[in-house]
């Protein structure tokens, strides 16, 4: 899921991570491997946000999904794995 700038801001206010800029040289390779997404680097590795079910109150949200974990303690190399939904859910706001 590609996030809007507002959704990225809301994600960062609820999930401690760093977005990978669209012009980063790794983004084309990440898109090839994982599809078109907004990618985030966090303490658990490489993450994306996938749409979650809209709540009864109409709040649109997304679930943080981990795609790759750090393969070393110094966080310099990522090891891809099957996508793993995390417990982190980001509330984007009221669905229009």
Cβ atoms of residues 15 and 42 within 8 Å: yes
Q: Is the pLDDT of residue 96 over 70?
A: no
Q: Tell me the three state secondary structure of residue 28.
A: helix
Contact 8/22 with Cβ under 8 angstroms? no
Q: Which residues contact 37 (CB under 8 A, 6 or more apart)?
A: 1, 2, 30, 31, 48, 49
| pLDDT number for residue 95 | 63
32-85 pLDDT per residue, tens: 999 999 999 999 999 999 998 776 777 899 999 999 999 987 888 999 999 999
Q: Which helix (H) or strand (E) holds 5?
A: helix 5-14
- The domain ranges of the chain are 5-94
Listed residue (67, 55, 39) closest to 91, CA to CA? 55
* Tens digits of residue pLDDT in 8-19: 999 999 999 999
* DSSP 8-state secondary structure symbol assigned to residue 36: S
């Amino acid at each position: 899921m590609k996030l809007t700038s507002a959704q990225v801001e809301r994600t960062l206010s609820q999930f401690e991570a760093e977005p990978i800029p669209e012009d980063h040289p790794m983004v084309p390779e990440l898109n090839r491997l994982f599809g078109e997404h907004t990618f985030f680097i966090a303490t658990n590795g490489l993450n994306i946000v996938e749409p979650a079910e809209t709540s009864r109150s109409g709040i649109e949200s997304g679930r943080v999904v981990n795609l790759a974990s750090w393969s070393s303690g110094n966080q310099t190399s990522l090891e891809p794995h099957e996508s793993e939904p995390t417990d982190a859910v980001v509330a984007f706001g009221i669905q229009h």
